[in-house]
Chain A
């Protein structure tokens, strides 16, 4: 293992931002993969999985099991991680909205440019992402349709769901889209709840990353087979919204198979304690995401259910 400095960025008053990577194996031996961890300060789960993977790969390298080249960068935005911020602490910009970066541009554009330069030339790219809302979710692969995406390699993670969808305008400045355009088969693994560590999700993602590297002949070790991934397109996800605001109490966990009529959650008035609403599953399916804050806003998405039947309409809670 080589512990390398990806880049170093000076601060007016703090110690320099030092972004480090952990390099295993050699490119000449086989395919290469780069894995990017926490780009935001609340992506603690992503940091945890990446750093745990570093320790795992260190052991595998000692056993002579690395058959390609692996780069793991556990944390990009350690400045934010170290002070409970989400984005770049000075101007609150999101590094993952600055790609492909611009070396002569603003601070986070320069950081993105330095990172992007270090990520060039890899066969595969995996971004460990948190959610962009107040939710938590079953770990899934997010693969956007840039015309350069590679769904076969995404399947090798063996995760239960691959969310496969067209890109939105803001995703054109995110790492996955640009990494794909620059020739790396890039995807994102989205999991956990921002600001916390979920051991079950972390274990599942760790297993998926190891499986991916084995299947892609980067790592030589025995692994269990994963899922035959279900390709989920937006029309296969049903959104259940809270028609009332208040204290939210979920009765289920992500990954639960639910049946039509099951009670999934309750909302009570935050002041009077009055029972306001029961959220009922309108279809059979698998609960993929849920709201993860105890206070819920009116019309917030409380649950997402993946169904084998394409949804007919967006259904409100009852």
Chain B
């Protein structure tokens, strides 16, 4: 049985506290310094991680004798946002994942970030589970900055995900939870899967198996490693971005996560007023359509899809 603990609390103006809670599972012998943190809800419109937290908690309750080290589950970091379908921190309208490591001496979102870091500091591994936003649907993937690839890719490969995307370092991403924690020595993986404001049960179960496998391999669980899939590695190919050329209503022509040939139609942008098709979105390369727009209204530039394919 996990123990529910409050790790950060701050009074709200009218008779309420903002709080961050975790459920801590420990071996029968008590807490260990070896610790892993499972995190979700940094963005209030991303719910896939909440389901994974539930599944993991359910598994741990049923297999308490298999726990070898401390396992902390934080399902709801931005609780104000989660309970109000708000991506950012309500009231302040600030993206929590752009103000890490935060500060005790700054406004509320920065204090929340500081509270998160303080609570998880010392964890050996952290897994930060995001959905995509409400606009895009993603296959289960882990995104890793190139500078951290050597340390993190082997860990990501254990997570039963479909894709490991190693990207160039971007300075603004130094303000993310993952960067802050990696800087502090906690090996932190960022999982993206599904779509905002929705729940995909299959992806949740897929990631649960990956987390159990990772914890088995890394000495957190006394179970045999699971037979997990080996993710596609981004370095073997290239990512093509499909951006809308004009505003309108995007109508996909194929399902998400399909193999697609170069030159085939991904979808159309149509004009509901005139009844005209304004443009067809054509695959610039062949490969897997690993991102597909879920929210149909597009402006010029709106991302409608991403294809991972062989390097040309």
Give the A interface residue count (CB, 8 A).
Answer: 42
The reply to whether the CB of A300 lies closer than 8 angstroms to some CB of chain B is: yes
Bound Cα distance A223, B108 (Å)? 41
Bound Cα distance A258, B284 (Å)? 64
Distance to closest chain A CB from B108 (angstroms): 5
The reply to whether B172 and A169 form a contact with Cβ atoms under 8 Å apart is: yes
Closest to A92 in B: B87
Known: A105-B243, A132-B94, A301-B105. A12 touches B14 (CB 8 A): no
Distance to closest chain A CB from B96 (angstroms): 12
The reply to whether the CB of B298 lies closer than 8 angstroms to some CB of chain A is: yes
Choose, from B57-65, B186-194, B198-206, B299-307, the stretch at the interface. Answer: B299-307
Closest to A169 in B: B174
Bound Cα distance A127, B13 (Å)? 33
The reply to whether the CB of B287 lies closer than 8 angstroms to some CB of chain A is: no
Interface string of B75-99 (1 = CB under 8 A from A): 0000000000001100111100011
Closest to A301 in B: B107
Partner of B108, one of A13, A87, A90, A300: A300
Interface string of B106-136 (1 = CB under 8 A from A): 1110010000000000000000000001010
Distance to closest chain A CB from B47 (angstroms): 17
The reply to whether A295 and B14 form a contact with Cβ atoms under 8 Å apart is: yes
Tell me the chain B residues, 286-312 only, with Cβ under 8 Å from chain A.
297-303
The reply to whether the CB of B248 lies closer than 8 angstroms to some CB of chain A is: yes
Known: A11-B299, A87-B93, A92-B88. A296 touches B13 (CB 8 A): yes
Distance to closest chain B CB from A28 (angstroms): 35
Distance to closest chain B CB from A86 (angstroms): 5
Interface string of A72-95 (1 = CB under 8 A from B): 000000000000001100111000
Known: A12-B299, A106-B301, A168-B175. A270 touches B249 (CB 8 A): no
CB-defined contacts of B107 to chain A, threshold 8 Å: 133-134, 300-301
Choose, from A18-26, A55-63, A244-252, the stretch at the interface. Answer: A244-252
The reply to whether A244 and B11 form a contact with Cβ atoms under 8 Å apart is: yes
The reply to whether the CB of B3 lies closer than 8 angstroms to some CB of chain A is: no
The reply to whether A10 and B303 form a contact with Cβ atoms under 8 Å apart is: no
The reply to whether B243 and A298 form a contact with Cβ atoms under 8 Å apart is: no
Interface string of A204-227 (1 = CB under 8 A from B): 000000000000000000000000
Distance to closest chain B CB from A276 (angstroms): 10
Tell me the chain B residues, 152-190 only, with Cβ under 8 Å from chain A.
171-175
The reply to whether the CB of A256 lies closer than 8 angstroms to some CB of chain B is: no
Closest to A10 in B: B247
Closest to A244 in B: B11
CB-defined contacts of B248 to chain A, threshold 8 Å: 12
The reply to whether the CB of B246 lies closer than 8 angstroms to some CB of chain A is: yes
The reply to whether B106 and A106 form a contact with Cβ atoms under 8 Å apart is: no
The reply to whether B247 and A12 form a contact with Cβ atoms under 8 Å apart is: yes
Bound Cα distance A168, B105 (Å)? 15
Distance to closest chain B CB from A196 (angstroms): 16
Closest to A276 in B: B11
Bound Cα distance A108, B300 (Å)? 9
Some 28 contacts from A to B, beta carbons below 8 A apart, are: A10-B247, A10-B300, A11-B247, A11-B299, A12-B249, A12-B297, A86-B93, A90-B297, A91-B135, A104-B243, A134-B91, A169-B171, A169-B172, A169-B175, A170-B172, A170-B175, A172-B171, A239-B105, A241-B105, A245-B10, A245-B13, A246-B14, A295-B14, A296-B13, A297-B13, A297-B18, A297-B108, A301-B107
Q: Given known contacts A12-B248, A134-B91, A169-B173, what 6 new A-B pairs fall within 8 Å (CB)?
A: A12-B297, A12-B299, A91-B302, A169-B171, A245-B12, A299-B104
